[in-house]
A and B are shown apart, each in its own frame.
Chain A
Amino acid sequence: MGTAVTTLIKDSPPDAPKTRPGPPAAVKRRGRRENLAGYLFMSPWIAGFLLLTAGPMAASLYFAFTDYNLFDSPKWIGFDNFTKMLDDPRWQKSVEVTAKYVVIGTPLKLLLALGVALLLAQSRRGQAFYRAAFYAPSLIGASVSVGFVWRALFSDDAVVDRTQSFFGWDVGGWVGNPDWVLYSLVALTVWQFGAPMVIFLAGLKQVPKELYEAAEVDGAGPFKRFWSITLPMISPVLFFNVLLETIHSFQIFGSAYVVSNASCGPADSTLVYTCYLYQKGFKEAQMGFASAMAWMLLLAVALVTAVLFWSQKRWVHYEEASR
């Protein structure tokens, strides 16, 4: 709001209209009216940004350097939260669990999404049906219901365990086994490949057919065509999917919480980062520590985002707007 007001004031020195000839003043008045209209229309967003985003971010940064239990006022402790965090075995565990989840789950999900999109793009008949059916899990995947279903499907003696045991590899169900439970969460996110798939499909539709025809004339095989036409042409969409899916999977909470029966276990094996943050902040009322954790998450996400944007130059091809 502050900036809005200052711009308005700067734009209208009180005596300016008198010293200037007609048209510019009218233009200026119109610009001023546009500014005012703009800020009025934007006012819910501006209020929301200050009250629910910028303000809380500043507060969170402050809390990160304090000892704060919500009832006594925050006590400044410098970098203690951060040093404590780095020495905390459970924090280390949560980083490890989350990193594993992101590094395994995201590429699998995107590969499947791309693969199925390439498959669907080959034919128009039935495409709409399959596209809709494959997209459905993305809508319900975040629900507690699906969390319960997952817990049931991956528990001891249930369908996944029986199938696995049939091949002589009995691990006693994934949800009860600390070495396996995280993969049930990976399976859950991969199951939701439909959302990135829809985006890939839309990207594939925009690739000009002539390119393939020309390549075919030149004798390029399917692999070559994929590598030198499809991939570069959909690279902006690929970039978008990689960015969003990576950022989202860093923030996994609900499915880990529900599938692990609210324990983020067994033995902390599904203690994803946000689950530990939740426990620290809302179970142990260590708001300072939890805020410091949140900022570490933000730094990690910012770092990944920066690396992705930096790498963009090397592999993402934006077409010049030709139309």
Chain B
Amino acid sequence: MSTTTTPSPPSTTSPTTPRKSLDVGRRRTGSLAWHLGALIVLAVVLYPVAWVLGASFKPSREIIGSLQLFPTSPILQNFKGLADGIADISIATFFENSLFYALGSVVGILISCSLTAYAFARIRFAGRNLMFSLMIGTLLLPYHVLLIPQYVMFQKMELINTYVPLLIGKYLATEAFFVFLMVQFMRNLPKELDEAARLDGCGHLRIYWSIVLPLCRPALITSAIFTFINAWNDFMGPLIYLNEPGKYTVSLGMMMFRDQEGVANYGGMIAMSLVALLPVLAFFLAFQRYLIDGMATSGLKG
């Protein structure tokens, strides 16, 4: 795991002092250019987010055409309209469903992926390398190959229009990315910890629960947040498996908005878009360090 704040590296400037003042001047203009470049990228990157914020306070007919990012006289009508729900279903229902799906996924991933990762990182069993290769292989496997047969299977089991097809994989460690993330983390924990615990007569279950899991907190938090966000954003899964509006997640509910209300309530649609983004943005602001570190480690040692 890369530490977030490495101490600044020892000064690289050579001891030849005469050049120093020149260096400082050059560095200052360089830094100005650097910030200018970064700010331009920032403006482009954040524009859509600022746009949705501004547009949700504009009347429907102004949203597309107006070039003004924020309205001169903001209105709350779009948000008030959301209280009526979509096609007789309260917005709260969609949020409850999404929350259930997201939290259910988090619990499943934390349990199943950490168990699997522990076995890969800390137990030497026959076939481990083969299973590890298979696990990495599923990381590269396009999900769509499994889509049709899984649907057929769940249809035969009469589990369509339930959350089982969406959640079961999370409880069976099929999300290889998180297994991989946790394996990387667990491998870096000192082996002496296990050996000491073993001499004290601890079995694997004890070592897993009382030693490895607590030390893996950063990896667990990263996985939990990613899982929550992925489930919250998931569109294809709910689209395929849920077919009763009362069970829809926020993503699907929003698509209904489009079908039911069309262009007439554009403002409501944009306001809903903003509200649906809020949980993800809040998670991001609160935990961005975990997310970025998790992302960064996934590429190293790969």
Do chains A and B interact in one complex? yes
Q: Is the interface of B mostly helix, strand, loop or mixed?
A: helix
Interface residues on B, range: 35 or more
Proximity bits, B1-17, A CB within 8 Å = 1, else 0: 01010101100100000
B190: A residues at CB distance < 8 A:
none
B276: A residues at CB distance < 8 A:
143-145
B65, chain A: closest CB distance, angstroms: 5
A263, chain B: closest CB distance, angstroms: 11
Q: Which residue of A lies closest to B4 (CB)?
A: A128
Which of A122, A136, A159, A253 contacts B45, CB < 8 Å?
A: A136
| Given A53-B174, A116-B41, A150-B48, A294 contacting B296 (CB threshold 8 A) | no
Check A235 for interface membership: any CB of B closer than 8 A: no
Check A108 for interface membership: any CB of B closer than 8 A: no
Check B128 for interface membership: any CB of A closer than 8 A: yes
Q: Which residue of B lies closest to A289 (CB)?
A: B148
Query: Which of A138-189 touch B at CB < 8 Å?
Result: 139-140, 142-146, 148-150, 152-153, 155-159, 162
* Cβ contact within 8 Å between B135 and A45: yes
| Given A60-B148, A126-B38, A132-B292, A41 contacting B142 (CB threshold 8 A) | no
* Cβ contact within 8 Å between A294 and B48: no
A277: B residues at CB distance < 8 A:
144, 147
Check A26 for interface membership: any CB of B closer than 8 A: no
Query: Which of A77-125 touch B at CB < 8 Å?
Result: 116, 119-120, 122-125
A282: B residues at CB distance < 8 A:
151, 240
B75, chain A: closest CB distance, angstroms: 17
* Cβ contact within 8 Å between B143 and A48: no
Query: Which of A34-71 touch B at CB < 8 Å?
Result: 34-35, 37-39, 41-42, 44-49, 51-53, 55-57, 59-60, 63, 70
Check A322 for interface membership: any CB of B closer than 8 A: no
Taken together as a complex, chains A and B put the C-alpha atoms of A235 and B232 apart, in Å, by 34
Taken together as a complex, chains A and B put the C-alpha atoms of A155 and B115 apart, in Å, by 48
Taken together as a complex, chains A and B put the C-alpha atoms of A156 and B64 apart, in Å, by 8
* Cβ contact within 8 Å between A254 and B236: yes
A232: B residues at CB distance < 8 A:
none
* Cβ contact within 8 Å between A120 and B38: yes
Check A215 for interface membership: any CB of B closer than 8 A: no
Which of A49, A142, A295 contacts B235, CB < 8 Å?
A: A142
| Given A44-B172, A206-B300, A209-B9, A297 contacting B145 (CB threshold 8 A) | yes
* Cβ contact within 8 Å between B45 and A191: yes
Q: Of residues A38, A136, A198, A291, which shows the largest number of chain B Cβ atoms within 10 Å of its Cβ? A: A38
Check A201 for interface membership: any CB of B closer than 8 A: yes
Check B49 for interface membership: any CB of A closer than 8 A: yes
A257: B residues at CB distance < 8 A:
235, 239
B138, chain A: closest CB distance, angstroms: 6
Query: Which of B262-302 touch A at CB < 8 Å?
Result: 266, 269-270, 272-274, 276-277, 280-281, 284, 288, 291-292, 295-300, 302
Proximity bits, B143-158, A CB within 8 Å = 1, else 0: 1111111111101000
Check B254 for interface membership: any CB of A closer than 8 A: yes
A179, chain B: closest CB distance, angstroms: 21
| Given A37-B125, A37-B204, A298-B145, A49 contacting B48 (CB threshold 8 A) | no
Query: Which of A272-316 touch B at CB < 8 Å?
Result: 274, 277-278, 281-282, 287, 290-291, 294-295, 297-298, 301, 305
Check B168 for interface membership: any CB of A closer than 8 A: yes
* Cβ contact within 8 Å between B146 and A57: yes
* Cβ contact within 8 Å between A205 and B2: yes
* Cβ contact within 8 Å between A59 and B174: no
Q: Which residue of A lies closest to B63 (CB)?
A: A152
Check A236 for interface membership: any CB of B closer than 8 A: yes
| Given A148-B270, A153-B51, A257-B235, A240 contacting B124 (CB threshold 8 A) | no
Q: Which of B29-37, B77-85, B99-107, B215-223 forms contacts with chain A?
A: B29-37
* Cβ contact within 8 Å between B126 and A7: yes
Check A237 for interface membership: any CB of B closer than 8 A: yes
Which of B123, B150, B291 contacts A37, CB < 8 Å?
A: B123
* Cβ contact within 8 Å between A287 and B152: yes
Q: Which residue of B lies closest to A206 (CB)?
A: B300
* Cβ contact within 8 Å between A281 and B297: no
* Cβ contact within 8 Å between A63 and B146: no
B134: A residues at CB distance < 8 A:
49
Check A76 for interface membership: any CB of B closer than 8 A: no
Beyond the given A145-B274, A281-B148, please list 8 additional residue pairs across the A-B interface where CB-CB is below 8 A.
A34-B125, A42-B115, A45-B131, A51-B172, A134-B45, A146-B48, A297-B144, A298-B145
Interchain residue pairs A-B with the least CB separation, the first 9:
A38-B125, A48-B172, A199-B299, A202-B296, A41-B119, A145-B273, A56-B149, A59-B149, A45-B173
List 29 contacting pairs A-B, 8 Å CB cutoff, sorted by A.
A35-B125, A44-B111, A44-B171, A45-B131, A45-B179, A47-B172, A52-B172, A52-B174, A55-B149, A56-B150, A119-B34, A119-B37, A126-B38, A130-B42, A136-B46, A143-B232, A152-B51, A155-B64, A162-B67, A198-B292, A202-B297, A203-B300, A209-B9, A213-B12, A251-B144, A254-B235, A277-B147, A282-B151, A297-B142
